[in-house]
Amino acid sequence: MVLLDEHPIWLDGLEGALVATGVHVVAKVTCPQAALDVVDAEAPAGLVASLDLPSSPFDGIACLRVAKERAPTLRVVALSAQHDGSHLNAALAAGADAYLAKTAETREITARIRECLTGACSESPRARALAAPFGPQLTMRELEMLHLVARGYTNAQIAEKLWVTKGTVKFHLVNAYRKLGVSNRTQAARYVFEHGLADLPLAVPLTRSPLEVQA
């Protein structure tokens, strides 16, 4: 397994977690070209690559694409701090076998990586449908609010639950409605259930409002 990320401290932590579960780490690198060199020279079973490489002219998506072209059987896990439909779409199109947010728990990340090494790892059809070029490129915040709309929450209740202003809720929902091609809450709720968006996991659990805590 090759690990790619710009931050050595992240690489050290991930290596330690993987080694503890029996995964052999061939190399830890901080630039895409170094990762490709290792793929060519060592023929590793897998590549865990960060998509967030602001210091490199060769971005993480391009690295995944080239790595898969050079080694079609390479198992690839994409990691990103940006967990939304746009990044998921780009990673899957580049050949990633799985996509994980860096905010995920260590146990979840290592489990998914181990699954990929055995060939048992792949994104769900629903996730791929959301990421498809013709699908809605929703941010996680928009998806979070659509979940609540589909559950019958008003804008004021969503604002209270997520600890944001009603103006913020309106802003995100207007953008989400435009992406879905709907014009009101009823249509949005129907779309969420009919297209499987209600089953997509959120990056973080929805926070509970003070009223729910007291209930």
User: Which tokens in the block code for residue 211?
Assistant: 């009223």
Q: Average pLDDT, stretch 149-176?
A: 91
> Which two structure tokens, joined as six digits, stand for 175?
């953008």
Average pLDDT score, the chain: 81
Domains 2-131 and 140-214 share a fold: no
Instruction: State residue 38's pLDDT score.
Output: 96
Q: Is 57 left (phi over 0), alpha (psi -120 to 50) or beta?
A: alpha
pLDDT at 126: 44
Looking at per-residue confidence, does 202 or 146 come out higher?
146
In which band, very low, low, confident or very high, does the pLDDT at 199 lie, cut at 50, 70 and 90? low
Third-level CATH fold of 140-214 = Arc Repressor Mutant, subunit A (1.10.10)
pLDDT of residue 72: 92
Backbone phi and psi for residue 31, each to the nearest 5 degrees, phi listed first: -140, 150
Residue 141 confidence (pLDDT) above 50: yes
Judged by average pLDDT, the poorest of 39-43, 86-90, 95-99, 119-123 is: 119-123
Residue 159, SS3 per DSSP: helix
pLDDT band at residue 127, thresholds of 50, 70 and 90? very low
Enter the pTM of the model: 0.60
* pLDDT of res. 212: 39
Q: Does 203 score more than 60 pLDDT?
A: no
Contacts of 148-152 with CB under 8 Å at 24 or more apart are 148/206, 149/173, 149/185, 149/188, 149/189, 149/192, 150/188, 150/189, 150/192, 150/193, 150/197, 150/198, 152/189
Domain ranges in the chain are 2-131, 140-214
SS (H, E, C) 44-63: CCEEEEECCCCCCCCCHHHH
Residue carrying the six token digits 């901080």: 30
Whether residue 130 has pLDDT greater than 90: no
Q: Which residue has the higher pLDDT, 138 or 106?
A: 106
Q: Which CATH number fits domain 2-131: 3.40.50.2300, 1.10.287.90, 3.40.50.300, 3.60.15.10?
A: 3.40.50.2300
Helical H runs in 72-207? Answer: 85-94, 106-117, 125-131, 140-150, 155-162, 166-180, 185-194
Distance CA 145, CA 79 (A): 24
Q: Between 199 and 78, whose confidence is greater?
A: 78
Reply yes or no on whether the pLDDT at 215 is more than 50.
Answer: no
201 residue type, one letter: P
Alpha carbon distance 85, 91 (integer Å): 10
Q: Is the pLDDT of residue 137 over 50?
A: yes
Lowest mean pLDDT among 99-103, 136-140, 154-158, 172-176: 136-140
Cβ distance 124 to 112 under 8 Å? no
- Rounded to whole angstroms, the Cα distance separating 109 from 14 reads 9
Report the distance separating Cα 150 and Cα 160, nearest Å: 16
